[in-house]
Structure 1
Amino acid sequence: MTTATGLLRDIFGFDAFRPGQEEIVQAVAAGENVLAIMPTGGGKSLCFQLPALMRDGVTVVISPLIALMRDQVRALRQAGVEAGALTSGNTDEETDAVWQALDEGRLKLLYIAPERLAAGSAMGMLRRIGVSLIAVDEAHCVSQWGHDFRPDYLRIGELRRALGVPLAAFTATADAETQEEIVTRLFDGQPPRAFLRGFDRPNIHLAFAAKNGPRQQILSFAAARKGQSGIVYCGTRAKTETLAQALSDAGHSACAYHGGMQAEDRRQVETRFAHEDGLIVVATVAFGMGVDKPDIRWVAHADLPKSIEGYYQEIGRAGRDGGPAETLTLFGPDDIRLRRSQIDEGLAPPERRMADHARLNALLGLAEALGCRRQTLLGYFGETATPCGNCDLCDKAPETFDGTQAVRKALSAILRTEEWFGAGHLIDILTGTTTDKIRERGHDRLPTFGVGRDFNRAQWQAIFRQMMGHDLIRPNPERHGALTMTDAALPILRDQQAITLRSDSLAKPDRRPAVRELVSDEDAPLLSALKAKRRALAEAASLPAYMIFNDRTLIEMAEQRPANLDQMARINGVGAKKLDSYGRAFLEIITGASEAMHPTRQKLAGRAAGTVFDKLIAVQQELQRGADGTEKPMSCTHSTLRHMAERRPATLSDLGRVPGMGQQKLDRFGPAFLDVLRAED
């Protein structure tokens, strides 16, 4: 076996390994199963490329992005290593060249996407070419808890078992839960040799700022770094295009990148970014794992990322050459609302959504940190650190205040309302704001009603946001986003522990006009739950979501909260057919329980005839055995009662002509039925 240091020098041109690389290379080369978690820019790819050259046979590299595979194959070939990729983006000539190299036994590294494993021929092909090692790049994608979940990654464990070869998995970010899932799915629960090589990137300056004219904030940040390559991450595709145009108008070289673009257009942006100095790419997270440019000098987030893992992956693309790099992450209430709704509208089970809310809380904790951001960031990944001196909070400490009493009041309001309400309603209680909802529930008589008038509504929103950042409270997906307390809140509630909050977060002005939300804060979680149900039904039926119910109908459901099918039928957009097909499913989301209703009665749902039908049923039940309760049981069919409710016969003669009404039934029920029908006219 050729020595690692010799290959490192002769093939890759490096005189020495980076910290942590050598022992990983030796373990992989020796055929051990390995899980290596290394920071972005820490040299992960070398840790499987070098062992591939040290071992006989072919190393299969499973990678999530075509751009990433192309970059690595190109670099390996330039270094004289036989490598190839089989991707959907290949030309016929490229694919033929890969097969020829495999047939001739020359190829050392074969890159494929996990989706290729779904093809029935893949297993036979991999057996035939003599695979001796499987390397999994961006292994966090195997985790359903991760932000880049790819279902075909789940086939890799099966591939490892079938081929009987060692597997090495690499990623830059994985919290304890994700690590556990990687071990379960890739290694059948048998712990591989694990290497945790530190998450710190001390050359990257960390900074967060509350949104206050975010477009101008991004433009100012870019202007101070004009001529440097940078990435701006946005939460929506549309925003990438408008912000890229604004940067271009300001004299920067900038372009947009998102998943909705044509593949060739995306490839052109990737090529430009790799070769042009000073280009700014404004992108969604679609522009992510394929970025392999060492001299990106800054990364900005125009919107709050989804999680700390996502944030760390994205800022890690800056300063991969070890030179100084800067970051800026903007955040605001709209971002948090969007991220919460994305979690709630997903189809994940409640426990996963609760875990994702906790991950978002951790990111809010980083955004609202009181001290060194790097300490908070590394602490999330289980590392300890001293103050870094290279973040905005080390540059200038934030203003703080003792928030113990305010937090205790908020927790008391949550407890006294039995953890069934969101921040909007709780703030109404704390500020003593009397609303219909407050009066209906008697919450104006709670001891906490009005105890928080020393803060205004916006300040209370900031306090609740910081409470989430401290993971004292979390939205409960099973209660449509109602805030529930965590164990961490109990010592504060019991006056056993104090808490410090940032005062600057309470005072930040926002010059932008308020964004008009589809629904109130209170109704937003329910709307998200209704959208999730709509999405599930639409996917099952292979229909566009709007063909189930449009947004306006779901908004009215969230606001009106129908308690039964009668009320559901009165919602605009809920016709008889949709009520029959979907009414119970959506009612169950709103009320937590489905309603049983006879099909004949359901056809009258939402109509006055339905109320008449119910009264006729009640009368019939009273007289079923006659006025004295001793006669032979007798009843009318639901169809007969529906006919009466709709036609409203006015006399006994008219009643006798109703289909299904014979003389005996007329004698027993007729007068009582007429009383009901006349009372409803």
Structure 2
Amino acid sequence: MTNSAITPHEAALLKTMQRYWGYDSFRPLQREAMAAVMDGRDSVVVLPTGGGKSLCFQAPAVAMGGMALVVSPLISLMKDQVDTLRSAGVSAAYLNSTLSTDERREVMEQIRGEQLKLLYVAPERLLLDGTLSMLAQANVSLAAIDEAHCISSWGHDFRPEYRGLARLKEVFPHIGVHAYTATATEAVRDDIARQLGLADAEMLVGSFDRLNLIYRVRSAAGRMGQIQRVIEQHRGESGIVYCISRKEVEKTAAALVGLGVKAKPYHAGLTDEDRKRHQDDFLNDRAEVIVATVAFGMGIDKPDVRFVVHAGMPKSLENYQQEAGRAGRDGLPSDCLLLYSRGDAALWKRIIESSADPGVGDGSADSLDGALRALDGMSGYCGGVSCRHKQLVEHFGQPFSHNNCGACDVCLGELDLVDDALLLAQKIVSCVARLEQRYGADHTTKVLAGSTEERVLQLGHDRLSTYGLLKDQRTGDIRDWVEQLVSQGFLLKAGEYGVLHITESGRQLLKGEAEPKLLRASAAGSDKPAGRNRATESWEGVDRALFEQLRALRSHLATERSVPAYVVFGDTTLRDLARRRPTTLDGFRHAQGVGEKKLRDYGDAFVAAISGYCSTNGVAGDIEVVPTTEAPRRPSRPRKSGANASAMAAFSLFREGLAITEVARQMGRAPSTVTGYLSEYLKHESVTDPTPWVDRTTATAVEEAIESVGLRALKPLHEHLGGTVDYDAIRIVATCLANRERV
């Protein structure tokens, strides 16, 4: 974004974001969403989890006069967001049932004294006449409704109490009302605006694609072992395991605890006290894994969840998008594994049809039909073999033009596919044709399997040429292949009973002019290792040992302040610090996510820890990192790693034999930064003679020390030399010696 494109509103917003949140640019759609708030226009904003929805109303609330009213459905979400805002230096509070009489009185005084920029309140409390009357006298600048999909009976998490929020336009006719959600189809978005009575609402819909999430689908066979492997891959990191039933939650959590995992169960059968304690343990990193039903998650603001495992199939793609989306809210790569069996769909169908599921819209016949259709869509996703990102994005009505997402089991080449899928698919589609496109997947499967059931024989389908064509295959596998052909668009389910029809693509398939993909029998994927992906790339340049030390420091500071660790700093900030290794407060302030208050609160502690690490381990500090505001890009052809532009500019000076101090002077860089450039130069040019930068006597002494103690680390060499040779000199000599041995 160029300076000429910045409006006065945007300049104020950017200044606010930098001061309180440490951000110097807008993420996709934030500029437009914030402009609607600043201008007082109503809006419906749909951004994926981790897309920065909260900042869309928080930053304008701080930049504007008055107090923003934020409607939030859960007490835990209110507390998390208020804690995070306060840690950034923003005056915020909440009104809910957890407050004592004195605490509630204090919040009311803050409201009357115009001391708050944001007030969080649950819809039930907001709609009390006393609350609305009190707020009508306050200087309310805007109203923001979080988790706004709860308003619509067309959505996947309808909450009747949200319908009463239409009163906001009556009580506050002169302010903008803004609805925010991560998952909403076009029908749900329109319903949200209609139910709230929004005036010509601006519809702002971001991409539903979560670039940083790596989606995988597997057969549920060996479920516990698969869950264990994911946890082992993310040992020490936070994760969520979703189960369909309470019984499975308890069973899975107990099994993980038995394996030494810090896991806690969470479901509606636990007492309120136990649920709160287990959730707090997870948020504060005392528990690594939470095993839960879908009762857990809405409003969980924990940004560093590195994996989400579904131990059973969710009931809709909307639910899956939201639940899986709780991984990687900080934008860092995270894993999403879905384990499913065909029995999952049958279980959900029984739950939905018995109306035991409170999430089935408003209980009407249309809502029930919609829930069953959504279940079919989820089944199609599980059985599909096309790009997972593409399936999700297109479900929400957005185009997806990438040939390879580079972040799912399909595009990473992890699926175990049938060798001659065309012939197998032709047999299945031919059977649909022989059945005159009048029957569903179950009956078609029985004919292909050569079933002797009475109905098959009565209809004379045992006399079809396709009868028994796949009798050597398991019935369940044939049924899965049918669903895969539907998912890939070769077959289409139509009508109430899901009658199979052949599409134009299916007709091309019969002619051998299309290439289907079918999974091997009973395999939704394989455990073959994936190649280099964005999870690996996100660690480029990060000093892992320093990162772990900073995590420990963060945990200590969070415990002292009785807040979750991510309220201090998120993993994104810690990784940036472990790349830059700033040894001064001025360098620290340039790390991602460091605002003014956090600089004051935590700067000294982190700078001291980084400086001590650099000194102890003999590594350079204050590494220059070229900032980027670009969103993650789709992977293309792999690039060779290499030095950055600044390092390359130093290479010509090193070729002249200039000393580090002279190069630093000419380039206007710190000597420690230039030392890092020199290290890259030595490796890049395979330099074997260190004497332009280290005198011969010192170089000889270092070489002799290496011969005596080896080159496992720099610290033993430094100690062997009596501390008389600095780490930079040791590193230079060691690099040249290694180059000499490679020649």
Match of 1:317 in 2: 326
CA distance in 1, matches of 2:296, 2:449: 44
Q: Which residue type is aligned with residue 409 of structure 2?
A: D
CA distance in 2, matches of 1:239, 1:213: 14
Asked if the contact 2:67–2:116 (Cα under 8 Å) also holds between the matched residues in 1, the reply is: yes
> Which structure 2 residues correspond to residues 269-288 of structure 1 after superposition, within 5 A?
269-276=278-285, 279-288=288-297
Match of 2:275 in 1: 266
CA distance in 1, matches of 2:475, 2:66: 66
> Which structure 2 residues correspond to residues 578-617 of structure 1 after superposition, within 5 A?
none
Secondary structure of the structure 1 residue equivalent to 2:411:
helix
Secondary structure of the structure 2 residue equivalent to 1:395:
coil
Secondary structure of the structure 2 residue equivalent to 1:238:
helix
Asked if the contact 1:434–1:444 (Cα under 8 Å) also holds between the matched residues in 2, the reply is: no
> Which structure 2 residues correspond to residues 406-485 of structure 1 after superposition, within 5 A?
406-409=427-430, 411-412=432-433, 423-438=441-456, 442=459, 447=464, 450=467, 452-454=469-471, 455-467=473-485, 469-470=487-488, 472=491, 474=493, 482-485=497-500
> Which structure 2 residues correspond to residues 38-53 of structure 1 after superposition, within 5 A?
38-53=47-62
Q: Which residue type is aligned with residue 12 of structure 1?
A: W
CA distance in 2, matches of 1:366, 1:112: 37
CA distance in 1, matches of 2:96, 2:511: 59
- Alpha carbons of structure 1 residues 284 and 141: separation in structure 2 relative to 1, 3 Å: same
CA distance in 2, matches of 1:383, 1:162: 40
Match of 2:399 among 371, 383, 405: 383
> Which structure 2 residues correspond to residues 209-608 of structure 1 after superposition, within 5 A?
209-276=218-285, 279-346=288-355, 348-381=363-396, 382-386=398-402, 387-396=404-413, 398=415, 399-400=417-418, 401-402=421-422, 404-409=425-430, 411-412=432-433, 423-438=441-456, 442=459, 447=464, 450=467, 452-454=469-471, 455-467=473-485, 469-470=487-488, 472=491, 474=493, 482-485=497-500, 489=503, 492=506, 501-508=516-523
Secondary structure of the structure 2 residue equivalent to 1:359:
helix
Asked if the contact 1:361–1:470 (Cα under 8 Å) also holds between the matched residues in 2, the reply is: no
1:557-583 per-residue CA deviation (whole Å, 9 max, x = no partner) reads xxxxxxxxxxxxxxxxxxxxxxxxxxx
CA distance in 1, matches of 2:268, 2:365: 28
Match of 1:79 among 88, 93, 107: 88
Q: Which residue type is aligned with residue 475 of structure 2?
A: R
Larger Rg: 1
Alignment of 1:54 onto 2:63 = yes
CA distance in 2, matches of 1:383, 1:93: 53
Secondary structure of the structure 1 residue equivalent to 2:25:
coil
- Alpha carbons of structure 1 residues 406 and 127: separation in structure 2 relative to 1, 3 Å: farther
Q: Cα offset for 1:182?
A: 1.9
Match of 2:618 in 1: none
Secondary structure of the structure 1 residue equivalent to 2:21:
coil
Q: Which residue type is aligned with residue 410 of structure 2?
A: L
Q: Point out the more displaced range, 466-475 or 59-68.
A: 466-475
Q: Cα offset for 1:489?
A: 4.3
Tell me the percent identity.
33
1:85-111 per-residue CA deviation (whole Å, 9 max, x = no partner) reads 222333333322222222323233221
CA distance in 1, matches of 2:351, 2:372: 10
The structure whose RCO (Cα within 8 Å, separation 6+) is larger is 2
CA distance in 2, matches of 1:306, 1:476: 20
Alignment of 1:186 onto 2:199 = no
Q: Cα offset for 1:466?
A: 2.4
CA distance in 2, matches of 1:375, 1:425: 30
Q: Point out the more displaced range, 489-498 or 201-210.
A: 489-498
Match of 2:659 in 1: none
Asked if the contact 2:216–2:336 (Cα under 8 Å) also holds between the matched residues in 1, the reply is: yes
Asked if the contact 1:413–1:429 (Cα under 8 Å) also holds between the matched residues in 2, the reply is: no
Q: Which residue type is aligned with residue 383 of structure 1?
A: P
- Alpha carbons of structure 1 residues 283 and 97: separation in structure 2 relative to 1, 3 Å: same
Secondary structure of the structure 2 residue equivalent to 1:35:
strand
CA distance in 2, matches of 1:432, 1:41: 50
Q: Tell me, which stretches of 5 or more residues in structure 1 are unaligned?
A: 511-681
CA distance in 2, matches of 1:452, 1:142: 50
Q: Tell me, which stretches of 5 or more residues in structure 2 are unaligned?
A: 1-8, 526-743
Match of 2:610 in 1: none
Q: Which residue type is aligned with residue 207 of structure 2?
A: G
Asked if the contact 2:240–2:309 (Cα under 8 Å) also holds between the matched residues in 1, the reply is: yes
CA distance in 2, matches of 1:469, 1:356: 18
Match of 1:134 in 2: 143
CA distance in 1, matches of 2:368, 2:336: 29
Q: Point out the more displaced range, 275-284 or 347-356.
A: 347-356
Q: Which residue type is aligned with residue 215 of structure 2?
A: L
CA distance in 2, matches of 1:468, 1:155: 41
CA distance in 1, matches of 2:181, 2:513: 38
- Alpha carbons of structure 1 residues 224 and 132: separation in structure 2 relative to 1, 3 Å: closer
CA distance in 1, matches of 2:504, 2:125: 50
CA distance in 2, matches of 1:341, 1:496: 40
1:250-273 per-residue CA deviation (whole Å, 9 max, x = no partner) reads 111111112222222222222222
- Alpha carbons of structure 1 residues 187 and 501: separation in structure 2 relative to 1, 3 Å: farther
Asked if the contact 2:428–2:448 (Cα under 8 Å) also holds between the matched residues in 1, the reply is: no
Q: Cα offset for 1:499?
A: 6.4
Match of 1:171 in 2: 181
Secondary structure of the structure 2 residue equivalent to 1:198:
coil
Asked if the contact 2:148–2:180 (Cα under 8 Å) also holds between the matched residues in 1, the reply is: yes
1:506-530 per-residue CA deviation (whole Å, 9 max, x = no partner) reads 34399xxxxxxxxxxxxxxxxxxxx
CA distance in 2, matches of 1:445, 1:201: 48
CA distance in 2, matches of 1:214, 1:63: 35
1:394-421 per-residue CA deviation (whole Å, 9 max, x = no partner) reads 22164251254344355457757x55xx
CA distance in 1, matches of 2:270, 2:130: 31
Match of 2:557 in 1: none
Alignment of 1:116 onto 2:125 = yes
Q: Cα offset for 1:68?
A: 0.5
CA distance in 2, matches of 1:5, 1:33: 22
Q: Cα offset for 1:177?
A: 2.4
Secondary structure of the structure 1 residue equivalent to 2:303:
coil
Tell me the matched-pair count. Answer: 500
RMSD of the alignment, in Å? 3.1
Match of 2:731 in 1: none
Q: Cα offset for 1:121?
A: 3.8
Give TM-score, length-normalised by structure 1: 0.67
Give TM-score, length-normalised by structure 2: 0.62
- Alpha carbons of structure 1 residues 376 and 25: separation in structure 2 relative to 1, 3 Å: same
CA distance in 2, matches of 1:275, 1:366: 34
Asked if the contact 2:432–2:500 (Cα under 8 Å) also holds between the matched residues in 1, the reply is: yes
- Alpha carbons of structure 1 residues 99 and 496: separation in structure 2 relative to 1, 3 Å: farther
Asked if the contact 2:383–2:480 (Cα under 8 Å) also holds between the matched residues in 1, the reply is: no
- Alpha carbons of structure 1 residues 102 and 483: separation in structure 2 relative to 1, 3 Å: same
CA distance in 2, matches of 1:39, 1:179: 14
Match of 2:102 in 1: 93
- Alpha carbons of structure 1 residues 196 and 444: separation in structure 2 relative to 1, 3 Å: closer
Asked if the contact 2:425–2:485 (Cα under 8 Å) also holds between the matched residues in 1, the reply is: no
- Alpha carbons of structure 1 residues 502 and 333: separation in structure 2 relative to 1, 3 Å: farther
Q: Which residue type is aligned with residue 477 of structure 2?
A: Q
1:616-651 per-residue CA deviation (whole Å, 9 max, x = no partner) reads xxxxxxxxxxxxxxxxxxxxxxxxxxxxxxxxxxxx
CA distance in 1, matches of 2:514, 2:220: 25
Match of 2:21 in 1: 12
Secondary structure of the structure 1 residue equivalent to 2:309:
strand
Match of 1:558 in 2: none
